[in-house]
Chain A
């Protein structure tokens, strides 16, 4: 089971964090800080896996963003790379050639997409089409409400 997923920039700024196990805020911050420094210090040619405490860390860089997942010892690290890649593909399809700014300004959307791909740290849907369909249908529900409420401003803006 995936323990958590972090997205951060090359400058070390956190862009997204999803925790599938409970930790106090302080611990989460420490883990995040530790991992960001460790991963940013690694050279590009190095392998995507790290042993960190009793977890395996799998990370991959896409353009300026690092995607980093912590998995358990029994999990398949190569498959985790595929999950990361799948998530990137979904973001790309959803935003239309996604860039870091899309994720910064629409972080909630990035979470919504992730929540349709994974649930409780496990893959729930293996079809890209189904994930995007579910997200789009929910976006539509939101849009309809915005019209009903007469104020487009009522959304997140």
Chain B
């Protein structure tokens, strides 16, 4: 042994110990390195940097430490052949984790990977995995490095390369290196083989057509004893089966192998290497159970082959620890998915029932989740656990409540609806806002489906309107009105209930107010005529409540519109206070909101000039018929969408065939859930010539144009309207209603309706359109630039197509959503041919 010390400039003392095999070249290298160390000061050590950063008291201080070090690291990167590169990259990776930019280290990582030293490679590959992903363009370089290292004689270098390939696996890289991976998949070395199997899995995930080259080497993976190879092999086969039906068919043959492996696992004695709390290799068991599920699905033979082992796992697994539940959970999923025996299914649901009673929240969550998946297969078995499930609605954990809520809706039937509803309404009252909208709509749907009598159904709707307040969706309002209108016998009951509800503070229950005012407007005479009730309602009482509603700043414009209309209807139900109503109309004729102003002035006119016609115009509406379109709407709303347009193409022809004869029928046509429109029918001039259908329509034409509802009239008069959804993304839905523009042969008028289906307002909404040069485009100003949640704005476009070519359009949207600017660009090519 030779040992000496060199002292250079008195700065650094270097101790060198080396064995006699070293030659002169090595000594030279050592001296060169020493010289370089002198030339450049030693960089800060990783440990010291971390200490310095942790010592920083403020964010600014930390930033300055990091910036100084980053600047230094950058400067060292400029020097080629730095001996400190490895340390600098390690520091950079720490800095990167703190959230600072570190992309400038990417190329340096590649240099480290190319170094022959293992330390360099280890840090280099770590850096590559952290700093680059498949979006980077340095891939070609790294692919070459990987190719070299995949051929290295050192297993750990091959291992590093495989690990990095598995992490990045861009499509190009996958194509370039698939054959290397396939070679390593056949390696005798277990350490390399298992990593190669997972690399193959990632490659297939990215580029499914590369599956073929791995197929031959895959099956033999299952004949290994090594658990690493087994689990990675099963993972690889699972991925292959999910990608192609042929492969799935091919691998059905391995079911007996899988069954044997699983059996060995659960029957073999204690093996310390793979034991987890008394369960033998749960990781492998779960993977096998999952693959069995995929192979047994829709295949009787495969299912038969695995029935026994599933029963064995289900009964033999000890369930007192998380790991036992893990296995049971996976087994239940498999039993439910394959064509299993009925006895086994009962066993599975019972396991879930036991889960539900568990103290551990995680287990309960999993149980609820799985019951939801299995409820359609065996409802009665799940029903047995109903009360436990309903109790979970009161859990303090939102994850559990969410699951329990979904499951409760799935369990409702005509027998249990009363009990379940009590719980659900209780839940609705206290629910977080995020639940209220969907929960109330679901309750309404369930009540509709399973209600035994109308009175109970109406009570439910009323309770939903009270409990969910402003979170009730518009569909609930219209379906409630619909139901009340249909059920003649219950009208006097419900009008009282609603009147009682309306007398309380309803500012946070706008939908309730809307329903109540509609009903009182229509059936207010029930309130006034009933002399028996001790609580007889006086006209003054109603007027007082209505005045409060109309003048309250908390009520929305829509609610006020409902109220104004209702009040007008009441003018023909009242006997003494009609003048008060007239005064209110006159006051509101100067309301700041255009719609309200117009209605009120029209109503005032009605009082003044056509008072003799007023009672017949304000007659009660005939029961609303549920049209096909409305039924559709209900189902659409379940999917979270709403049809914003109150009138659409298919609804009208139905009404039209009714052959409109008098103003009453017209009210039907315009009534229903689009209450706003029936205001227009009571326009003053209309009464002069209400005799014939055609005249009336002409008049309507006039008034609709005036009122800003041009689509309806054109719809009736020429039936050429067509609607299309032009855009539906991020909760913004834009519907185009196209129709020929009257008076100009080649011009199409497009009404744009932009609806906000999110919970946040969209502000600074800007809608821009570009059309090909052969078209001329006129854009009218929009009705607003802010779309509040579940409302919409309208804008009209006119496109003149003199060249008769197909219409194409490019639209650009920009708006602020919850403070974030959103921009989008899209092209529309699927315009109906008749509008061009």
Contact = CB atoms under 8 A, between A and B. Distances in A.
Interface string B76-99: 000000010011001001100111
B830 interface: no
Contacts of A17: 97, 130
Interface in A10-40: 14-17, 19-20, 22-25, 29
A97 interface: no
Contact of A83 (B162, B273, B281, B283): B283
B330 A76 contact: yes
B167 interface: yes
Interface string A36-79: 00000001011111110000000000000000000000101111
A154 B14 CA distance: 13
Given A105-B47, A150-B17, A82 B194 contact: no
Given A24-B135, A124-B194, A150-B14, A157 B45 contact: yes
Contact of B326 (A76, A147, A153, A155): A76
A81 interface: yes
A115 B163 contact: yes
A60 B162 CA distance: 29
B395 to A, nearest CB: 9
Contacts of B235: 122-123
A48 B30 CA distance: 54
Contacts of B167: 19-20, 119-120
Contacts of B122: 108, 112, 138, 142
Contact of A22 (B30, B134, B163, B201): B134
B195 A78 contact: no
B228 A78 contact: no
Nearest to B99: A29
Nearest to B205: A1
B596 interface: no
Given A81-B322, A141-B118, A126 B90 contact: no
A125 B194 contact: yes
B618 interface: no
Interface in B549-605: none
Nearest to B98: A14
Nearest to A129: B273
A48 B18 contact: no
Interface in B5-53: 14-18, 30, 33, 37, 42, 45-48, 50
Nearest to A148: B18
Contacts, number: 198
A82 B86 contact: no
Interface stretch (B303-311, B397-405, B412-420, B661-669): B397-405
A99 interface: no
A111 interface: yes
B471 interface: no
B554 to A, nearest CB: 31
A46 B361 contact: yes
Interface residues of A, number: 63
B239 to A, nearest CB: 9
Contact of A78 (B46, B94, B117, B322): B322
A146 B46 CA distance: 16
Contacts of B118: 138, 141-142, 145
Contacts of B353: none
Pick the most buried of B15, B33, B235: most chain A CB atoms within 10 A of its CB. B235
A149 B97 CA distance: 29
B499 interface: no
B342 to A, nearest CB: 25
B133 A47 contact: no
A95 interface: no
A20 B48 CA distance: 30
A13 B387 CA distance: 42
B282 interface: yes
Contacts of B273: 127-130
B227 interface: yes
A123 B119 CA distance: 25
A98 interface: no
Contacts of B283: 79, 82-83, 86, 123, 126
Contact of B228 (A47, A112, A125): A125
B307 to A, nearest CB: 21
A48 B227 contact: no
Pick the most buried of B122, B323, B325: most chain A CB atoms within 10 A of its CB. B122
Nearest to B168: A22
A122 B87 contact: no
Given A47-B362, A111-B126, A150-B14, A138 B329 contact: no
A126 to B, nearest CB: 5
Interface string B53-90: 01000000000000000000000000000010011001
Given A47-B400, A76-B326, A122-B235, A150 B16 contact: yes
A131 B287 CA distance: 19
Contact of B396 (A25, A45, A77, A156): A45
Contacts of B46: 156-157
Contact of B201 (A43, A81, A120, A154): A120
Given A19-B133, A79-B330, A105 B227 contact: no
B362 A14 contact: no
Contacts of A120: 166-167, 169, 198-199, 201-202
Contacts of A1: 205
Contacts of A146: 119
B338 interface: no
B483 to A, nearest CB: 34
A133 B693 CA distance: 91
Interface in A78-102: 78-79, 81-83, 86
A141 B156 contact: yes
Nearest to A21: B133
Nearest to A155: B119
Enumerate the 6 nearest inter-chain pairs by beta-carbon distance, A residue then B residue, closest first: A157-B45, A120-B166, A47-B361, A22-B133, A78-B326, A120-B202
Given A50-B399, A122-B201, A127-B273, 8 more contacts: A77-B362, A78-B325, A78-B329, A111-B130, A112-B122, A119-B232, A123-B283, A126-B284
8 contacts: A22-B170, A78-B323, A79-B283, A81-B326, A82-B323, A126-B231, A145-B119, A157-B46
